[in-house]
Structure 1
């Protein structure tokens, strides 16, 4: 099915929060999101999201990259295959990203557009995205509550998430061994049968610290240890940490390019692989990576920690690919996510049901979020 794009819009949204979201490299005192909407000549609209949650000051910049470099490649184009369009645009923008010194920002802007094209295609076909992407059954997917803060907040947030139906929890650590262990011990003491805990260091350790850290964490039956090293550390460092760790390692949100993911699979250091569809690749590149992950016997666990549109896209991707993965759902307050999707998505006994409508399953109501919109642009063919 061919579609002609006649309108491209971007929305930069900001929402203040009372309690900062903290991690090993900093904190977020507000939640941001960049949403994009593509409308075709028949009046159908598809939605995507551009990763922009850190640093939050970069949201407007990424929206401008979409407006200036991505939208002109969409408007008045007859597009039959979103994946072919993404590959063409990725090649064209590669040198621009290098020249600008920020290939990641260009990749994220392109990813948001790609997600919108896939949503549009599924809406035109009248099917949910997970089925459009080859999914075969509509069973709920397992989820975990993510972004849990350290110290006493961790136990409190685990209890809050449990009350909302979660059975798996991921806690931010990397603040020093004594503090990390003091955070985790009461959490593990509180766990009920069947509940699982993961930890995320957010690239916060060097090799020496990681080697010691993963051994100290051997006290706990962790499901995974996420990003104990920076994503660009050499493979031999990852091999050493993997060999020293009782728990499998997880990473992938900060990789870019199919070759990087293939290398990670070939080197066998990761048990859980976590591409972020709004950060690199959209659905066009993430789907092949996710399928390669499951074919290699690893678990595909979509990374996501921002607004409602990217959260929905990640849900559909996991539902299409399945395997042993879990869906990441931010447990911290974020109206840019919750006001959009909480009315239609609930968690019961650690599982999230799939939305039933075409495409993402909802039509985002930007009127409801208008008080958070700080910048909006529209371009027409």
Structure 2
């Protein structure tokens, strides 16, 4: 097929409750959605990471249309992963010249997801079925985005939907975090699990101390307690000192770095983000390698509805015992897409509609649109 048109939409939805992490606060919910079409009536949707920095969404959209679109339009593609491979090579010097490795990778990730959606739609298969004939009909979810000091109500609401695993954000004040975690663990019901995400808050020494003091809480995992780019030796040292399984991956990029992380023995849970690096091509390959190594693939995602759907389809195709991250905070840029896919008994259903099942963007988000760019000038 030949790509003949690219359209990218930027949205920003206000939020009454900012999402706080150890490194910053999200005061609105952005999303960048990209649409590819092939000139024969087929199309595909993807999502480009836009949570950080605060001005990142509009930047990613312009980067796509002004610096990458020329490498996509008119390109003939025989398999969806070809675009990912080609763009990764062809944008290397462009990204090197400006030092914007992350934005280029994120744009390529969104384009890769859109390409896979397009191919799956043309094959009249759901994306999960296109990726694997043995894809599951649903995937288990866990609730995330919960501040450790105010998670009680959100956990109760998630529990009412049959969700049995909950991830809270820590890394604010170690002593208070531990007290709050203790209270949350005490309130868990049989079969439920609690995870903690520090968002790279601590030094190795601080992480070791937190791991020691939290050992009795029996957390399901401790996510990014130290910087994601810390040497693997530091991660291995922490893993040896920590009874709690370690999780990371949203800030790992590249096949080599993921392979090294998997082989290091430091991690129990790997969490690539389909909108930050790799798209479907990269994340599915990492997922399969993770599962083959006996580890858990639990895709990271905290964005809009297209990326969440793509994450669910990749997880369903990969197999294993992973869970889908489902942000518990209100976000119309996500919720409007998944309203037709309600979580039932803690599981997210994989629709049988072609591709990701998205024909047009939901009408409910139209008022949140801040920018649309189209290669056809429309």
- The one-character-per-residue Cα deviations of 1:27-48 (angstroms, maximum 9, x if unpaired) are 1110000000011111111000
Q: Which residue of 2 aligns with 1:344?
A: 340
Report if aligned partners of 2:135, 2:319 keep a CA contact under 8 Å in 1: no
Report if aligned partners of 2:208, 2:241 keep a CA contact under 8 Å in 1: yes
Q: 2:279 aligns with which of 278, 282, 286?
A: 282
Q: Give the distance between the partners of 2:153 and 2:337, measured in 1 at CA.
A: 25
- The one-character-per-residue Cα deviations of 1:247-287 (angstroms, maximum 9, x if unpaired) are 11000110111000011011110000000111011111221
Could you tell which deviates more after superposition, 133-142 or 19-28? Answer: 133-142
Report if aligned partners of 1:31, 1:56 keep a CA contact under 8 Å in 2: no
Q: Give the distance between the partners of 2:365 and 2:85, measured in 1 at CA.
A: 32
Q: Which residue of 2 aligns with 1:80?
A: 78
Report if aligned partners of 1:154, 1:183 keep a CA contact under 8 Å in 2: no
Match of 1:254, SS state, is coil
Q: Which residue of 1 aligns with 2:35?
A: 37
Computed over aligned residues only, the root mean square deviation of the Cα atoms, in angstroms, reads: 1.3
Q: Give the distance between the partners of 2:201 and 2:360, measured in 1 at CA.
A: 36
In the TM superposition, residue 353 of structure 1 has moved relative to its aligned partner by 1.4
Q: Give the distance between the partners of 1:252 and 1:372, measured in 2 at CA.
A: 30
- The one-character-per-residue Cα deviations of 1:200-221 (angstroms, maximum 9, x if unpaired) are 0001111110110111111211
Q: Does 1:310 align with 2:284?
A: no
Q: Which residue of 2 aligns with 1:27?
A: 25
Q: Give the distance between the partners of 1:195 and 1:361, measured in 2 at CA.
A: 31
In the TM superposition, residue 135 of structure 1 has moved relative to its aligned partner by 4.1
- The one-character-per-residue Cα deviations of 1:220-241 (angstroms, maximum 9, x if unpaired) are 1111100011011111211111
In the TM superposition, residue 367 of structure 1 has moved relative to its aligned partner by 3.3
Match of 1:303, SS state, is coil
Q: 1:96 aligns with which of 94, 97, 105?
A: 94
Report if aligned partners of 1:340, 1:364 keep a CA contact under 8 Å in 2: no
Report if aligned partners of 1:50, 1:112 keep a CA contact under 8 Å in 2: yes
- The one-character-per-residue Cα deviations of 1:296-345 (angstroms, maximum 9, x if unpaired) are 1111111100000000000000000010111111111111000121x211
Q: Give the distance between the partners of 2:328 and 2:297, measured in 1 at CA.
A: 20
Q: Does 1:357 align with 2:361?
A: no
Match of 2:230, SS state, is coil
Q: Which residue of 1 aligns with 2:373?
A: 377
1:1-381 correspondence to structure 2 within 5 Å: 3-151=1-149, 153-341=150-338, 343-380=339-376
In the TM superposition, residue 85 of structure 1 has moved relative to its aligned partner by 1.9
5+ long unaligned stretches in structure 2? none
Match of 2:103, SS state, is helix
TM-score, scaled relative to structure 2: 0.97
Report if aligned partners of 2:136, 2:317 keep a CA contact under 8 Å in 1: no
Alpha carbons of structure 1 residues 344 and 212: separation in structure 2 relative to 1, 3 Å: same
Match of 1:193, SS state, is coil
Could you tell which deviates more after superposition, 249-258 or 74-83? Answer: 74-83
- The one-character-per-residue Cα deviations of 1:93-126 (angstroms, maximum 9, x if unpaired) are 1121121111011000111011000000000110
Match of 1:253, SS state, is coil
Report if aligned partners of 1:344, 1:355 keep a CA contact under 8 Å in 2: no
Q: Give the distance between the partners of 1:350 and 1:219, measured in 2 at CA.
A: 26
Q: Give the distance between the partners of 2:209 and 2:217, measured in 1 at CA.
A: 14
5+ long unaligned stretches in structure 1? none
